[in-house]
Amino acid sequence: VLSVSMFPQVAVLSGMFELIRLLGIYNSLAGLILANLILTLPFTVWVLTTFMRELPKELEEAAYVDGATPLIVVRRVFLPIMWPALVTTGLLAFIAAWNEFLFALTFTLSNDMRTVPVAIALITGGSQFELPWGNIMAASVIVTVPLIVLVLIFQRKIVSGLTAGAVKG
């Protein structure tokens, strides 16, 4: 899983482009979702696997002894324990998808399908020699505000999720 995430995005771009073209999802939200899923899935699996290895096996065994089904064990035993890791991983995957530029630039043509980083990069001035730095900076600040709000809301979950699998004991 980790070896897949070590490839730079440019290395998988041509293969991903061909796949998205063959599936007929070029210039659509489905194409961007597939690209971001492939981009973030190795990272999320790696983080959650690290966290899940630290879960005590005794909790699962005790739940089965008490008559719980596998669905109840997942929902009532493991999900509350894994909540900080799930929030942290989800937020980090969201930030990676929010800031992703290369796939969004390559797999979209219309203005309706462009992501915010691509739209900001395509802001032009009155002439080819003018860059509207004020507009670009204003757009960048506005785009950053939702991420800051999310991090502030989930700050405690992020800290406990990031440190959950750090110490073995």
Which pLDDT tens digit goes with each residue over 135-167?
A: 999 999 999 999 899 888 888 777 776 665 555
Interval 83-103 mean pLDDT: 90
Q: Which of 21-25, 57-61, 130-134 has the highest mean pLDDT?
A: 21-25
Write down the pLDDT at residue 7: 78
What the block records as the tokens of 67 is 């008559």
* Residues 32/107, Cβ–Cβ less than 8 Å: yes
Write down the pLDDT at residue 126: 80
What the block records as the tokens of 8 is 């730079």
pLDDT exceeds cutoff 70 at 31: yes
pLDDT exceeds cutoff 70 at 1: no
Interval 53-63 mean pLDDT: 89
Q: Please say whether the structural domain 2-55+84-163 has been given the CATH code 3.90.1150.10.
A: no
Interval 87-99 mean pLDDT: 89
Confidence band of 4 (pLDDT split at 50, 70, 90): low
What ranges do the domains of the chain cover?
2-55+84-163
Q: How far is CA 133 from CA 100, 122, 140, in A?
A: 21, 12, 10
Interval 110-118 mean pLDDT: 91
What the block records as the tokens of 80 is 């509350």
| Residue 27, phi-psi category: left (phi > 0), alpha (psi -120 to 50), beta (remainder) | left
